[in-house]
Amino acid sequence: MVGDDLKTELPTGETVRFAHLDYAASAPCAEAAAQAVAELLPRYGSVHRGTGVRSQTSTVAYEVARDVVAEFVGARPGDQVIFTRNTTDALNLLARALPPSTTTILFEGEHHANLLPWPNQLRLPAPKSADEAINAVENALGGITGPAVVTVTGAGNVTGEVWPIREISDIAHAHDVRVIVDGAQLAPHLPANLDHLGADFLAFSGHKLYAPFGGGVLAGRADWLDAAEPYLYGGGASATVGDRPGDLTWATGPARHEGGTPNLLGAVAIAAVCAALLVADRDALHEHEQRLLTRLRRGLPEGAREVSLFGPDHPRVGIVSLALPGHDPAQVAHRLGREYGIGVRAGQFCAHPLVRRLVNAEKSDTCDAPGAGLLRASWGLGSTEDDVDRFTKALAEILRS
Ligand code: PLP
């Protein structure tokens, strides 16, 4: 990873390697992404517009990037890959592309990016097990008469738990209902393949997938996307424009929702990481993350309690959130950063309803500072045992003091 050896100075004057345990917010940049961007920069130009070598090279690079991402997500014939700014952007785009009067079935525990954009919501309470999630979707679908869609996270950004997407998709499809997967925390850790997940749409962010150049992805069924109003009106999205207002035809295909000059470097960076992950031993990467999880759990000091919806044995990615009864997580995070050179995150992680629920479940002696929330450590490619050990040791010292 670029910047693996970043150093930071502690108040004691000591210099230490910065331990980045905030991958769930933004992961470090992969060498492959940095290299792809560096290689393109000297030839960089406008996409889809010019005739010179810069523009032609850039257009090819952009469309090759789309093809690589299509392979990464296991796009089926007819699926589209649209480059967006991030997951939030991708899900907002899709929310505006839903057929009229569609009811969106979702759980209250979603990240705000997958909670707020949807119209006509049927919000289900956060489930206590994967089976409960599946049953809740089935019951909800049974009570719906009009068009509906289910949107669900692939892996939760608070608990790291992996959701039963395949089962939910199978049930939804049996009711002729499509499934959208928020893959922001899934894609960096586990294969996020539309076909294997049985999902109809998938969204994810470059900056969480080791490609922090401002890009994101929405992939999935073309029909809703081609029928929808363009996400942004302007050049690229329009095919022909007449003299009078409204006298125009819109493009179909990805261009319809990529109005304006696209983020070429973002797309190329994402594709570089996708290409690397396509040939990587993902089982080995997953096992490494799981070893770090086990190590972190073993090292957790008394007074730090891991929160979960589905219980400790449920599969999860490299994310752990902790309730710290009697302590303010924000202050603990601040001290970890300043005194120990460790970056984590504290608060409610843009999932306020879920964190409220999890904190309330710990209520008896949890610090009740307004919005105190939880402390989250998250890791991925390039994370080390030393990162985890430093975190648990520092946390123990802080909780003792
Ligand atoms: N969905 C999940 C599960 C997330 O964790 C996040 C970000 O943390 C998002 C969506 C939003 O991602 P972005 O901020 O890149 O749009």
CATH number at residue 330: 3.90.1150.10
Q: For 272-297, what is the mean pLDDT?
A: 97
- For residue 370, pLDDT beyond 70: no
Q: What is the pLDDT of residues 39-52, one digit of tens each?
A: 999 999 999 878 89
| C-beta of residue 125 within 8 angstroms of C-beta of residue 288 | no
pLDDT exceeding 70 applies to what percent of the chain?
98
Domain identity same for 245 and 289? no
Domain identity same for 155 and 215? yes
Q: Is 182 in the pocket of ligand 1 (CB under 6 A)?
A: yes
Query: Which domain, by its residues, includes 140?
Result: 31-279
- Give the catalytic positions in this structure: 350
SS (H, E, C) 59-99: HHHHHHHHHHHHHHCCCCCCEEEEEECCHHHHHHHHHHCCC
* Closest Cα to atom 6 of ligand 1: 184
Nearest ligand 1 atom to the CA of 154 is 3
What CATH code is carried by the domain that includes residue 85? 3.40.640.10
Give CA–CA dist 319/362, Å, rounded.
Answer: 19
In a mutational test of the pocket of ligand 1, which residue from 84, 86, 87, 118 has the highest number of ligand atoms less than 8 Å from its CB?
87
The angle subtended at Cα 307 by Cα 301 and Cα 310, nearest 5°, is 135
Q: For 223-248, what is the mean pLDDT?
A: 95
User: In the chain, how many domains are there?
Assistant: 2
- What is the band of 367 on the pLDDT scale with cuts at 50, 70, 90? very low
**Between residues 65 and 363, the one the model is more confident about:** 65
Q: For 267-282, what is the mean pLDDT?
A: 98
Domain identity same for 49 and 196? yes
Query: Given this model, what pLDDT does residue 360 score?
Result: 83
Dihedral sign, CA of 240, 241, 243, 246? Answer: positive
Nearest ligand 1 atom to the CA of 349 is 8
Between the CA of 316 and the centroid of ligand 1 the distance, in Å, is 17
Query: Given this model, what pLDDT does residue 256 score?
Result: 97
Residue 341 structure tokens: 């050179």
Q: What is the pLDDT of residues 158-178, one digit of tens each?
A: 999 999 999 999 999 999 999
Between the CA of 89 and the centroid of ligand 1 the distance, in Å, is 10
Domain boundary among 249, 279, 309: 279
Mean pLDDT over the full length of the chain: 95
Q: Is 114 in the pocket of ligand 1 (CB under 6 A)?
A: yes
- What is the band of 366 on the pLDDT scale with cuts at 50, 70, 90? very low
Q: Is residue 316 part of a domain?
A: yes
Q: Is residue 337 part of a domain?
A: yes
Domain boundary among 259, 279, 299: 279
Q: Is residue 263 part of a domain?
A: yes
Domain identity same for 292 and 226? no
Domain identity same for 338 and 190? no
Q: For 129-138, what is the mean pLDDT?
A: 98
- What is the band of 365 on the pLDDT scale with cuts at 50, 70, 90? very low
- What is the band of 369 on the pLDDT scale with cuts at 50, 70, 90? low
Domain identity same for 124 and 221? yes
Q: Is 86 in the pocket of ligand 1 (CB under 6 A)?
A: yes
Domain identity same for 275 and 351? no
Q: Is residue 26 part of a domain?
A: no
Domain identity same for 324 and 233? no
Query: Given this model, what pLDDT does residue 49 score?
Result: 76
Domain identity same for 212 and 268? yes
Domain boundary among 279, 308, 339: 279
Q: Is 345 in the pocket of ligand 1 (CB under 6 A)?
A: no
